[in-house]
Amino acid sequence: MSLGPIPSGKSVTTSAAELRPVTALKGVGDALATKLAKLGVETVQDLLFLLPLRYEDRTQIIPIGALRSGDRAVVEGEVQLAELVFRRRRQLLVRITDGSGFLTLRFFYFTAQQQAQLTRGVRLRCYGEARRGSLGLEIVHPEYRRADGPDAQRTEDSLTPVYPTTEGVQQGRLRILTALALDDAEQQRVRDWLPSDLLRDLGLPSLAEALTYVHRPPPGADLMPLAMGTHPAQRRLAFEELLAHQISLRLLRQQIRTEPAWPLVSAGQLVMQFRQALPFSLTQAQERTLSEAIKDIGTTSPMLRLVQGDVGSGKTVVAALTALVAIEAGYQVAMMAPTELLAEQHWQNFESWFKPLRLPVALLSGKLTGTARQKTLNAIASGVDVPLVIGTHALFQEGVRFNRLALVIIDEQHRFGVQQRMALREKGMKEGRVPHQLIMTATPIPRTLAMTAYADLDVSVIDELPPGRTPVSTVVLPETRRDTVVARIAAACREGRQAYWVCPLIEESDELDYQAAEATHAALVSALPSLQVGLVHGRLTSKKKEAMMASFKRGELNLLVATTVIEVGVDVPNASLMVIENAERMGLAQLHQLRGRVGRGAAESTCVLLYRAPLSRLAQERLDVMRSTTDGFKVSERDLELRGPGELLGTRQTGLVQMKVAELIRDADLLPRVQKAAEQLISHHPESIRPLLRRWIGNGEQYGQV
């Protein structure tokens, strides 16, 4: 796929100047150009956006006596002694002094010419990182030159940028090349695509000013904001970069939406029957989300809607109602879950919901094989018999053909990549129509971030829990208090309550994972002889897992020991106590998901987080967050602060992680303005779009090919 709807750049002259090949610069031939290409540098403009990784201060000469281990600095001194020694390796040791102290320069590689030059009495200016060595402070392989030559007095007049390099392209060369490119920028040959009124509003510098500053910060520039990326010059560039990403996601969305979908409209018979049979009425947030989805699927433009709702907020019912509209309109619906366990649970739910409506529901799981599988596949392909198919990623394997697939529901989206969503979409591409997509996630993310990361989706938020739920109270205890916890479980179960005991995933190893769960199970069985204690873990066949879960759900088991397989979606309203072992090892999102398994019924629920001391500062903070709130949005906001967005969203969903200057968290305050600016540019300055994408994202392939 290419980025179809990008308006073509009109201002050919400026674009042409921006796209001058690096070979247009003095001293750059084909050989160097090939090497630069490895750094992603093909044009003069690319050189400008090859930004320094860090800066060195070579504007001042530091007295040797003031030098500390770990300092990178320029020093100047006279050679006192130079000797060739053989200590494991042949090396040249040169001792210099400036009267305030001594410093050893250590060379393992040197030419005969260098050796001849470095003799007593010669003045040197050196740059490098000082470290404590066997002879006191030393610099290994410093950059150096003679300081008694003609330009001896000169020091650098700006901070020295350090660029990412590649083989055969040295720092010195990059500094020369970027200086040449900066001349271009200063002569306005690189165009500032941000409207000047926008820059004025933002109080940010022009492109040329910003580039000059980041490539050549003046002496005395404060290195702190520069290192943190918060200098206005950097913010100006970050803004532009975020803007380019925002625009590209919007274009992707536009493009998807220009492909036609079946408009799904029904008289609402099935919806009405289903609602009447429900033992509860929908919350306002559910109603709002439902009507947004129904409105979306009624048009020929494919729905791409993300439903964010905390665990237990009731996303499944909304999905079911949306599905009924599509089914009544005469089409097929596919629902995809991240695990077999969840697919089966959904299937059970939907079966019991849809049975009174006489709508068969098919389950296509990995364990379905042979003729049974073929039969199901045939039914799906024929369409009429199977209005709803539930499954895992098995749904989009080869060999699965739908008849009239018009709506795809994806549960727990964070486990699916964009690619997988797109693959499923292709499945419905019959007669050139793409299915509508409803994506449900229990990983709530802060709004500004959602708008940035999911700019290709519309977002509905179910920000309200069904009534009658009492928030889960969370207790954090050291594992030395385990006995107290066990006693508490015994008491709760005597009152007819049920409990989960969650064992952690151990170093991603299935085997250890399962052993730990087995051991815990055995210990609890002997500590609680009067209780029925079950065990589920990833090693069980899905049949056994299912049987165990079902028996827990029926109340035949008091306590269920489980690995984190129960993390997502499992629904047993009578379970009101959860113990999570080694909670300090788990991430916030995971803890929140796990905790969401309790607090689903009317009884007051408790979650006990057991930890092993000592706690790291980060672990301590995570546990504090869990103790202080049950609001998924607050949890995820803190998670974001503690971890950063890449991990939270998964790199595949964001497409935002490889940014050059911007960082979502640090620059989050810019995001609302970025949104507005994206709209402004798309509608009023379409000519700026292609050059901006070219500048920041390359040819847009990354987005065009999801």
Residues lying near ligand ADP in the complex (CB under 6 A) are found at 280, 282-283, 286, 309, 311-317, 442, 466, 569, 571, 573, 600
Q: Give the β-pairing of 559-562 and 498-502.
A: parallel
Separation of alpha carbons 171 and 598, rounded Å: 58
For residue 424, give every residue at least 6 positions away whose Cβ sits within 8 Å of its Cβ, in sequence order, or none. 334, 336, 395, 396, 408, 410, 435
Nearer to Mg ion by C-beta: 22 or 566? 566
Q: CA torsion angle for 284, 288, 291, 295 (degrees, to 10)?
A: 170
Q: What angle do CA 96, 99, 103 make, to 5 degrees?
A: 30
Nearer to ligand ADP by C-beta: 520 or 630? 630
CB of 599 vs ligand ADP, minimal distance in Å: 10
CB of 353 vs Mg ion, minimal distance in Å: 14
Q: Which does 312 bind (CB under 5 to 8 A by kind): ligand ADP, Mg ion, none?
A: ligand ADP
CB of 442 vs Mg ion, minimal distance in Å: 6
Residue with tokens 């090939």: 34
Token pair listed for 341: 């366990």
CB of 319 vs ligand ADP, minimal distance in Å: 8
Token pair listed for 275: 């609602």
Q: Which of 158, 153, 154, 155 is nearest to 182 (CA)?
A: 158
For residue 217, what is the DSSP state?
A: P
Query: Between residue 625 and residue 664, which ones bind Mg ion under the rule CB under 5 A?
Result: none
Separation of alpha carbons 139 and 94, rounded Å: 10
Q: With contact defined as beta carbons under 8 Å apart, do 413 and 369 qualify?
A: no
CB of 560 vs ligand ADP, minimal distance in Å: 17
Q: Which does 694 bind (CB under 5 to 8 A by kind): Mg ion, ligand ADP, none?
A: none
Nearer to ligand ADP by C-beta: 275 or 685? 275
Nearer to Mg ion by C-beta: 376 or 443? 443
Token pair listed for 137: 């402070």
Residue count of the chain: 706
Token pair listed for 43: 């044009």
Closest residue by beta carbon to Mg ion:
569
Q: Which does 282 bind (CB under 5 to 8 A by kind): ligand ADP, Mg ion, none?
A: ligand ADP
Nearer to ligand ADP by C-beta: 314 or 655? 314
CB of 353 vs ligand ADP, minimal distance in Å: 9
The residue range among 150-158, 483-491, 561-569, 684-692 that interacts with Mg ion, by the rule CB under 5 A, is 561-569
Token pair listed for 206: 């022009």
Q: Which does 217 bind (CB under 5 to 8 A by kind): Mg ion, ligand ADP, none?
A: none
Query: Between residue 429 and residue 448, which ones bind Mg ion under the rule CB under 5 A?
Result: none
- According to the 3-state scheme, what is the secondary structure of 298-335? CCCCCCEEEEEECCCCCHHHHHHHHHHHHHHCCCEEEE
Site string for Mg ion, 519-558 (x = CB under 5 A): ----------------------------------------
Q: With contact defined as beta carbons under 8 Å apart, do 543 and 621 qualify?
A: no
Position 240, amino acid: E
Nearer to Mg ion by C-beta: 428 or 569? 569
Nearer to Mg ion by C-beta: 6 or 336? 336
Q: Which does 466 bind (CB under 5 to 8 A by kind): Mg ion, ligand ADP, none?
A: ligand ADP
Nearer to Mg ion by C-beta: 413 or 654? 413
CB of 548 vs ligand ADP, minimal distance in Å: 19
- State yes or no: residue 338 binds Mg ion (CB under 5 A): no
Q: Which does 638 bind (CB under 5 to 8 A by kind): Mg ion, ligand ADP, none?
A: none
Nearer to Mg ion by C-beta: 234 or 313? 313
CB of 413 vs ligand ADP, minimal distance in Å: 12
For residue 263, give every residue at least 6 positions away whose Cβ sits within 8 Å of its Cβ, in sequence order, or none. 297, 298, 299, 300
Q: Which does 427 bind (CB under 5 to 8 A by kind): Mg ion, ligand ADP, none?
A: none
Closest residue by beta carbon to ligand ADP:
314
**Which DSSP string corresponds to 168-198?**
TB-HHHHHHHHHHHHHHHHTT-S---S-HHH
Region for 625 from its dihedrals, namely left if φ exceeds 0, alpha if ψ lies in -120 to 50, beta otherwise? alpha
Query: How far out from the chain centre does Cα 154 lie?
Result: 47
Token pair listed for 682: 């798309």
Separation of alpha carbons 57 and 72, rounded Å: 8
Site string for Mg ion, 44-83 (x = CB under 5 A): ----------------------------------------
Half-sphere exposure (Cβ direction) of 161: Cα atoms closer than 13 Å: 24
Q: Which does 317 bind (CB under 5 to 8 A by kind): Mg ion, ligand ADP, none?
A: ligand ADP
CB of 313 vs Mg ion, minimal distance in Å: 9
> SS3 breakdown of the chain: % helix, strand, coil, rounded to 5?
45, 20, 35
Q: Which does 392 bind (CB under 5 to 8 A by kind): ligand ADP, Mg ion, none?
A: none
Separation of alpha carbons 645 and 450, rounded Å: 11
CB of 633 vs ligand ADP, minimal distance in Å: 14
Nearer to ligand ADP by C-beta: 214 or 343? 343
CB of 354 vs ligand ADP, minimal distance in Å: 14
Q: With contact defined as beta carbons under 8 Å apart, do 686 and 466 qualify?
A: no
Nearer to ligand ADP by C-beta: 193 or 350? 350
Site string for Mg ion, 480-519 (x = CB under 5 A): ----------------------------------------
Q: Which does 667 bind (CB under 5 to 8 A by kind): Mg ion, ligand ADP, none?
A: none
Q: Which does 286 bind (CB under 5 to 8 A by kind): Mg ion, ligand ADP, none?
A: ligand ADP
Nearer to ligand ADP by C-beta: 36 or 457? 457
Question: Could you tell me where the beta strands, DSSP code E, fall in 412-557?
Answer: 436-441, 458-462, 473-478, 498-502, 533-536
Separation of alpha carbons 464 and 444, rounded Å: 13
Query: Between residue 175 and residue 214, which ones bind Mg ion under the rule CB under 5 A?
Result: none
**Which DSSP string corresponds to 131-147?**
EEETTEEEEES-EEEES
CB of 315 vs Mg ion, minimal distance in Å: 5
Separation of alpha carbons 612 and 261, rounded Å: 54
Q: Please tell me whether the peptide bond between 232 and the residue prior to it is cis, using omega within 30 degrees of 0.
A: no
CB of 458 vs Mg ion, minimal distance in Å: 20
CB of 337 vs ligand ADP, minimal distance in Å: 10
Which of 569, 596, 599, 700 touches Mg ion by CB under 5 A?
569
CB of 471 vs ligand ADP, minimal distance in Å: 15
Binding site for Mg ion (CB under 5 A): 569
